[in-house]
Amino acid sequence: AVRELEFRDRSGFPLGESRPQIKLRGEAVAVDLGGGRTLFALLTGANGDVDYAKRVADREGIWVGEPEGPYIQIGTPKARVVQIWPRPPYPGNLGDHEDQKRGHALQYPMLVTFQASNDPKTAMQIDPDNLAAIFGPGVRLRRIAIQATDEAVTVGIDMRLKWLNNYHDKMLDGSLINKSRNLENNLSKATFQVGEKK
């Protein structure tokens, strides 16, 4: 999937408001595994980070341009590929700063599938080390990688998940707020698709 990230320089703003503003447009990665089975890599991080898709490229240092300048345009076909999974486990504490975690496996997208594709309440989180437990023998995840590109933003996940547009203001279990640890109460349309189509 191709996503668009727009960075707005806020260096002239007062202290505390000067960090760059990041705007995301795009959707989850959908991987067809045959037999009607699909694996989704969400915009949310595996650890529940709702801003994962906004931050991962910056955290992995794949931007190009003047290091002291504002965040510049995204995209060059020559940009390096950054593998974000698999990686060695992070040896420190979960509360450590993001810069300390870089290069380790705490940050990758949340992987889910649906036991019934027409029922959002059947969402299941998938262990990247054990796809075979859900999808059968021989199915495994080789890698997850990101790269800057100038290709068009991917669209159409709402055609694959026909019910998705019904959940822009509620969680997949129908609740209006996130109130439990159940997976379907922590997912909404925003974990699969954000931004308007152009």
Contact 27, 1 (CB under 8 A): yes
pLDDT of residue 75: 45
Helix (H) or strand (E) holding 23: strand 21-27
pLDDT of residue 166: 94
Strand partners, 111: 41
pTM recorded for the entire structure:
0.82
Dump pLDDT digits (tens) for 124-143: 999 999 999 999 999 999 99
CA atoms within 13 A on the CB side of 80: 8
* Mean per-residue pLDDT, 119-126: 95
Strand partners, 4: 25
Neighbours of 76 (CB within 10 A): 15
Neighbours of 191 (CB within 10 A): 24
Q: Read off the tokens for 89.
A: 């486990």
Dump pLDDT digits (tens) for 61-116: 776 444 444 444 444 445 678 888 887 777 777 677 766 666 666 678 999 999 99
